[in-house]
Amino acid sequence: MTCPVLRRCRVAGLAGWFIALTFAICLQPCSATAEAPLAMSQIAQGVYVYRGADAEATAENAGGIANIGFIVGDQSVAVIDTGGSLMVGQALLAAIRQVTDLPIQYVINTHFHPDHILGNAAFVAERPIFVGHVNLPPALRARQASYLARAQEVLGSIASEDWFIVPQHLVSGREVIDLGRRGLVLEAYPTAHTDSDLTVLDEATGTLFAGDLVFLERIPAIDGSIVGWLAALDRLKGVPARRVVAGHGPASAAWPAALADELRYLELIAQETRQILAKGGTLQEATASVGLTEKNRWRLFDSYNARNVTAAYTELEWE
């Protein structure tokens, strides 16, 4: 497989002195991802997961910070999330081709965040059906410009509008798709982590791909509604699964025990924010005090907690 990153760099390299620099920048993501298949774990029969890095997106990890995976049926394959760049998507495709030659029938996006969706472009040539929550296309379009700017800041000019492949098969309630004697149950949730959360349950093995409705070890990020997310957790815990693939954290975790940490965190944020609001506390007071007892329990706490409190405060002040 030719690496498009390298191809572009060679073109840019025609500028002579520019060659060394561009190769130094561009070789890394290619050698780290696109040329080498992602290292997948088979967490259940026919269910493969790549565990994303617990970090912000960087050139080194090429945006490969979310858990992504695929499920192999008798007749076809479904991909669930594609990573934070074309390169991660290509590496995922290479990993799939090490396992099976079956057609990739579905690429399912659990929500619109770039670390889950920007690898879609790597699958276009496979002609899958891209699947997402009914709210996903407008939500992604509204954010596309800022996501693209951020991707270019981190990954360079390789990041392009072509990476924004928007699902055309949209799910608004519950739907079952079949990979050949293997049914996947898709469920669209009301606004929670985002307004476009979609879960995938592999009935054959009881494996739930929860997307970012479930975070493990990495601090949850509220980009939807804290009240909605708590309601979603209440509904999620009734899903008859044996294990969960969280959007971030270990590739596989026991269900529903894996919900406990996130539930504790979100309930604490809601409770402490409501207490601040009840006594007339300001947004500044809330961001300076809410949730701090959770500090040592989550990775990237300092990067996201105050932002989560801002989201919770500006939502709950209208209760």
Interaction site with other proteins (CB under 8 A): 135, 138-139, 141-146, 149, 191, 194-195, 223-225, 228, 277, 279-284, 287, 306-307, 309-311, 314-315, 317-318
Beta bridge partners of 213: none
C-alpha 212/C-alpha 227 separation (Å) is 16
Which structure tokens are listed for 29? 């993501």
Taking alpha carbons only, the member of 212, 218, 205, 183 closest to residue 43 is: 205
- Residue 140 Cβ vs other proteins, minimum distance, rounded to whole Å: 9
Q: How is residue 33 annotated by DSSP?
A: I
Q: Integer distance in angstroms from the first to the last C-alpha of the chain?
A: 54
Integer Cα distance of 86 and 5 in angstroms: 9
Cβ(78)–Cβ(177) under 8 Å? yes
Q: Which C-beta is closer to other proteins: that of 140 or that of 233?
A: 140
Nearest Cα residue to 189 out of 111, 245, 255: 111
| Residue closer to other proteins (CB basis): 73 or 291 | 291
| Of residues 16 and 280, the one with the C-beta less far from other proteins | 280
Instruction: Output 124 or 145, the one with its CB closest to other proteins.
Output: 145
Task: Pick the closer one to other proteins by CB: 132 or 228.
Answer: 228
